[in-house]
């Protein structure tokens, strides 16, 4: 170092005595002190450089480098669990998240070149996502959605489409309609008329060759009917819907139907149903309704229904709905009846258990209330309940 060379001109006795340095020695001392101050100031930066260099060298020995690409693909799938899911349940889609905050699989693709290559080659990571129609007018958001389409091509898509405040349908969304596999339409606008117009613009007379699962809200507003062309549609979920609005679904194709606070009169239109799930709570004025002609119309026979599930979440009409369901419809092939009731008292439940179990269920009867499960088997039958369908 330079200051060490300069120190050779300093008498050593100055360090052990109180002698006064000469004028020349004083100049050398000033130079040395300035050099030391400069080096001291530069030390934090130098230490940071050394620390970064150490990390770079250690990264070469990181165990993640030895993980095979196929294992990384599996890890990325678990980090993006919605890519492994199916159906249209709300929790099977990516969380809404904060605006502008990146989520997987985006964050995984930012780590390094190798991870990015794996992410881009793993198309299923990009095949399930949320779409906010209200934000598609934002160029950056539109490009982001278009990136999902490109990176997942040609896989079928699972979409959670958030309804805008106005009836607008973007070409960016519609250009992938031929790949829609599972679609959940959410209701964000308060206007029933705008909600129907939005769904009509999105679905009416649009050929959806891959669509197998659909979840939507049918409002009571009277507008032109929606004609849905989906030759593979077999799973339908209707939420908070009234039967006075009748979309033209391919009703004969529906095999699994889920009703959430929805008029149960829709069930009669699906002649080939195999499984029914009815969820009731107090969040809708439609809870507990089944149509006005329940007591005056002969029971409709649904010969293929093998499983019925009724979930009563804090709705005082729960058992009423269940009784009306079995009064309005006849399930000749019913094998399994499962229901959850968190509202009625135990006496009412047991009375209804005996009534429904003896008249309708041929194989397995499962009841759940107050956190307990009660399972009874009609005489001569001991088969287990059939597994539920994944919605």
User: Which range (116-120, 141-145, 164-168) has the least confidence?
Assistant: 164-168
The reported pLDDT for the residue numbered 263 is 82
63 occurs within a structural domain: no
Q: Per DSSP, what are the bridge partners of residue 260? A: 239, 279
Q: Please check whether residue 295 lies inside any domain of the structure.
A: yes
Round the average pLDDT of the chain to a whole number and report it.
78
- Per-residue pLDDT, 387: 46
- Range of 379's domain? 255-391
- Judge whether 377 lies within some domain: yes
Q: Coil, strand or helix: which one is 252?
A: helix
Examine residue 13 and state whether it is found in any structural domain, yes or no.
no
How many domains does one find in the chain?
1
Q: What is the pLDDT of residues 39-72, one digit of tens each?
A: 899 899 999 999 999 988 888 888 888 899 999 9
Residue 334: which region, alpha, beta or left (left: phi > 0; alpha: psi -120 to 50)? beta
Tell me the C-alpha distance between 213 and 1, whole Å.
75
Whether 286 is covered by a domain: the verdict is yes
DSSP label at residue 282: S
Residue 349 lies in a domain: yes
Distance CA 290, CA 286 (A): 9
pLDDT surpassing 50 at residue 292: no
Q: Across residues 92-109, what is the average pLDDT?
A: 81
Give the pTM.
0.74
Q: Is residue 352 part of a domain?
A: yes
């Amino acid at each position: 170092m330079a200051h060490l060379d300069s120190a050779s001109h300093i008498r050593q006795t100055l360090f052990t005595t109180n002698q006064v340095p000469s004028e020349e020695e004083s100049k050398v001392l000033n130079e040395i002190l300035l050099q030391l101050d400069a080096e001291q100031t530069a030390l934090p930066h130098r230490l940071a450089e050394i620390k970064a260099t150490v990390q770079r060298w250690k990264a070469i020995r990181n165990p993640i480098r030895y993980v095979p690409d196929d294992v990384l693909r599996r890890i990325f799938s678990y980090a993006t669990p919605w890519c492994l899911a199916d159906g249209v349940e709300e929790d099977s889609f990516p969380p809404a998240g904060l605006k502008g905050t990146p989520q997987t699989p985006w964050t995984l693709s930012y780590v390094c070149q190798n991870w990015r290559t794996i992410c881009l080659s793993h198309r299923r990571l990009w095949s399930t996502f949320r779409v906010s129609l209200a934000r598609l007018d934002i160029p950056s958001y539109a490009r982001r959605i278009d990136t999902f389409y490109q990176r997942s091509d040609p896989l079928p898509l699972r979409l959670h489409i958030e309804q805008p405040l106005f009836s607008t349908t973007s070409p960016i969304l519609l250009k992938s309609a031929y790949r829609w596999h599972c679609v959940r339409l959410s209701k964000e606008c308060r206007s029933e008329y705008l909600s129907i117009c939005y769904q009509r613009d999105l679905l009416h007379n649009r050929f959806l060759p891959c669509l197998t699962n659909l979840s939507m809200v049918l409002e009571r507003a009277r507008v032109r009917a929606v004609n849905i062309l989906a030759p593979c549609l077999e799973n339908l979920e209707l939420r908070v819907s009234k039967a006075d609005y009748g979309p033209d679904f391919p009703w004969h194709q529906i095999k699994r139907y889920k009703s959430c606070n929805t008029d149960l009169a829709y069930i009669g239109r699906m002649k080939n149903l195999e499984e029914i799930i009815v969820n009731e709570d107090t969040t809708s004025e439609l809870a507990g309704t089944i149509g006005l002609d329940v007591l005056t119309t002969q029971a409709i026979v649904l010969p293929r229904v093998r499983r019925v599930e009724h979930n009563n979440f804090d709705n005082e009409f729960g058992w009423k709905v269940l009784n009306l369901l079995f009064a309005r419809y006849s399930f000749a092939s019913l094998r399994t009846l499962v229901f959850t009731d968190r509202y009625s008292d135990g006496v009412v439940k047991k009375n209804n258990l005996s009534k429904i179990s003896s008249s309708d269920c041929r194989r397995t009867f499962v009841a759940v209330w107050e956190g307990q499960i009660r399972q009874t088997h009609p005489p001569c039958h001991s088969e287990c309940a059939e597994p539920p369908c994944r919605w």
